[in-house]
Amino acid sequence: MVDPQRIHRAATEVLETEARAILALADRIDDHFVAACRHILGCTGHLIVTGMGKSGHIGHKLAATLASTGTPAFFVHPAEASHGDLGMIRNDDLVLALSNSGETEELLRLLPGLKRLGVKLVAMTGNPASTLARYANVHLDTSVDREACPLGLAPTASTSAQLALGDALAIALLDARGFTAEDFARSHPAGALGRRLLLKISDIMHSGNDLPTINSAATIADAIVQMTRSRLGMCAVVDHDQLVGIVTDGDLRRHLDDMGDIRSSTVASIMTSNPRTIVDDELAAAAVELMQSHRIQGVLVTNREGRLVGALNFQDLLQAGVV
């Protein structure tokens, strides 16, 4: 039978063991760590990440994290490297090799080839006296007191330490490069973050013939026709090329009882003067914040000179994936 208390104890022990292993790394952010950062920042090629087994899986993740945070990086499988993929590594690259033992045969087999190429090596191992550690230009110590596995066999605390120190390396490099959120978004153009940080209002606004406009002397009926045609739920009121107001579906509902005959009553009688606007070169995410903070469903768009150039509603933002 399943013993809930035993499961709880086992799971808790894993988390506590791995947490201690990660916390112990803080004392190893030393001159070796700084030297590794300097080597990587000075690399004019790519950072090649490699490792076997579970270390290889961590290496895949670290290569992806590094690449998305400003350090050009990719993963090379060490076994495949011995069968031709070593040709992917150039003499201006730098190798980051992960191995808990520091004696992984497939990695050691690469060392003569890397030496011939003149490629520098940063090793991340749990054994500072290992062959890989001694060969490396810089060694980063990821040793742990014990694995979280009760058998002491499955890589658990050791891989957590590799992942945490690798993340620390990536973020230290990000900071050193002055990497920004906009830079991050350029590496993630298809993601929600990329859309929020890259998509401009001008990219999704309605403009030209799709922008509903009317003058203040026009009738409410004319405004309804314009709003129906555009399906934006609003119409800009423009006199002599100057934006003077806006008419929305909400304005029509609020003035339903007092607007009189819509074929003779003018737009000026129900429009909202000095409407809220947003500039076309701002991020679309700024329009989301504006609409949510003021509880409005649409906004008119101007250029930096204040001239009306477009309109945007909340549905446009939803369709663009900004919300």
CATH number for the domain formed by residue range(s) 201-319: 3.10.580.10
Determine the pLDDT at residue 279.
93
| Residue ranges of domains in the chain | 4-179, 201-319
| pLDDT tens column, 210-235 | 888 999 998 988 888 888 888 888 89
Residue ranges of the chain whose pLDDT lies below 50: none
Determine the pLDDT at residue 118.
93
Determine the pLDDT at residue 233.
86
Determine the pLDDT at residue 319.
83
What percent of the chain stands above pLDDT 90?
A: 55
What is residue 74's DSSP assignment? E
| pLDDT tens column, 43-68 | 999 999 999 999 999 999 999 999 98
The DSSP line for 265-298 is SBGGGTPEES--EEETTSBHHHHHHHHHHHT-SE
The DSSP H or E segment spanning 95 is: strand 94-99
Q: What is the model's pTM?
A: 0.67
The DSSP H or E segment spanning 75 is: strand 73-75
| pLDDT tens column, 82-110 | 888 888 999 999 999 999 999 999 999 99
Start-to-end CA span in the chain (Å):
47
User: CATH classification of 4-179 is 1.20.140.10, yes or no?
Assistant: no
Q: Which long-range contacts (CB under 8 A, 24 or more apart) does 106-111 make?
A: 106/52, 106/78, 106/79, 106/81, 106/82, 107/50, 107/51, 107/52, 107/78, 107/132, 108/132, 109/78, 109/82, 110/50, 110/78, 110/81, 110/82, 110/86, 111/135
Determine the pLDDT at residue 283.
85
Structure-token pair, residue 72: 């050009």
